[in-house]
Structure 1
Amino acid sequence: MKKNILNLFTTLLLLSTSLSSCGTQKEALAISDKEKEIFASQSEEPVEISDEKTEYEIIIIEPGFNIWLQSVARPEGYYSKSFLENRNQILVLNWNQRVLQPNRFNPNLYELQINYDPRIDYGYEVNYKLYNYFVFFQRRYNQRLGPFLPRI
């Protein structure tokens, strides 16, 4: 009997620890008032992501993204190029899987696949803006595209 009570106590302790750590993760996703204002804006300014050396280009037309990129996102140079490439590889893979499952994921959010080949050097700017778009998208639409939290 004592052994069963001890096992139950241990299980409850582990469960409460798990639940409290889940609460910590939610705090990391807190959206600031500034971000809420940007997410509510309807101003559309296309963001062109390109690298003259590699001649690759992405155009993002998403209300609020340009303002968010300039005022909320970490500045260029904050992340290393390898960090951005590694994250983008994971995020693009998850994005493309969702595009292919319109019955499971909102097809209005996941419209087109992204052709991102990790063997190609897209340059820092392309990787920086693509990564930040994913962070913006996840925070704005409360999505999770990878195993890590989309935080700033």
Structure 2
Amino acid sequence: MKNLLYFIVIGLMIYGCGSGKDRDFTQDQIPVMANDTVRIANDSLEYEIIIIEPGFNLFINSIARPRGYHTQTYLENKNRFLVQEYNARVMSPQRYNPNLYVQEINYDPNVDYGYEVNYLLYNYFVFFSQEYNQRFSVPTRL
């Protein structure tokens, strides 16, 4: 299956540990706790988004703005810039913490991923910026 969007973030609680090992995470190597995982998949569109982050499920269900608050166009525009900056940070491990920026996000702004994927991706950036005190050039505040 061709993945247009494959997003894995794991092990951010290992923030203080500096590991020199290769960060080649595969699905079966990731310890998953049901309450800390948000997964959306659509085989017909061939995309998948997996967010494995302690506290994100609580954030999305209680703190984040409700679904429908922002339009899909708004979320797509924000995600386009946020993904670009996030990926630039992944490619600069000497400047940004490689324990926070683990893997690139494959997000094509020309693909219609639907509202739910854009909603979760945008809110992940809001959560990430608040949880780890990271500032992106595009405002992500609630």
TM-score (norm 2): 0.72
For 2:109, the equivalent position in structure 1 comes to 118
Q: Do the aligned partners of 1:54 and 1:121 also contact (CA within 8 Å) in 2?
A: no
Partner of 2:36, secondary structure, is coil
Structure 2 vs 1, CA of residues 147 and 127 (structure 1 numbering), >3 Å: closer, same or farther? closer
Residues 105 and 50 of structure 1: CA distance in aligned 2, closer, same or farther (over 3 Å): same
CA distance in 2, matches of 1:60, 1:73: 15
Larger radius of gyration: 1
Contact 2:39 2:49 in 1 (8 A): yes
Report the CA distance shift for 1:109/1:44 in structure 2 as closer, same or farther (over 3 A): farther
The answer (yes or no) to whether the contact 1:48–1:60 under 8 Å persists in 2 is: yes
Secondary structure of the equivalent of 1:139? helix
Unpaired stretches in structure 2, ≥5 consecutive residues: 1-32
Over 4 Å off, 4+ runs: none
For this pair of structures, how many residues does the alignment match? 110
1:13-24 correspondence runs (5 A)? none
SS of residue in 2 equivalent to 1:47: strand
Pairs within 5 Å for 1:2-151: 45-51=36-42, 54-148=45-139, 150-151=140-141
CA distance in 1, matches of 2:58, 2:46: 25
Distance change in 2, residues 1:43/1:142 (3 Å): farther
Percent identity, please: 56
- Report the Cα distance in structure 2 between the residues aligned to 1:52 and 1:140, rounded to whole angstroms: 31
Question: Structure 1 length as normaliser, TM-score?
Answer: 0.68
CA 1:53 to 1:82, structure 2 compared with 1: closer, same or farther past 3 Å? farther
How big is the shift at 1:44?
Answer: 5.1
In structure 1, how many angstroms separate the alpha carbons of the residues matched to 2:70 and 2:44?
A: 20
Q: RMSD value over aligned CA atoms? A: 1.8
Q: Which has the higher helix share?
A: 1
User: Which whole-Å deviations, capped at 9, do the CAs of 1:75-133 have from their partners, x for residues lacking one?
Assistant: 11110000000000000000000000000000000010000010111110000000000
User: Which amino acid letter does the alignment assign opposite residue 127 of structure 2?
Assistant: F
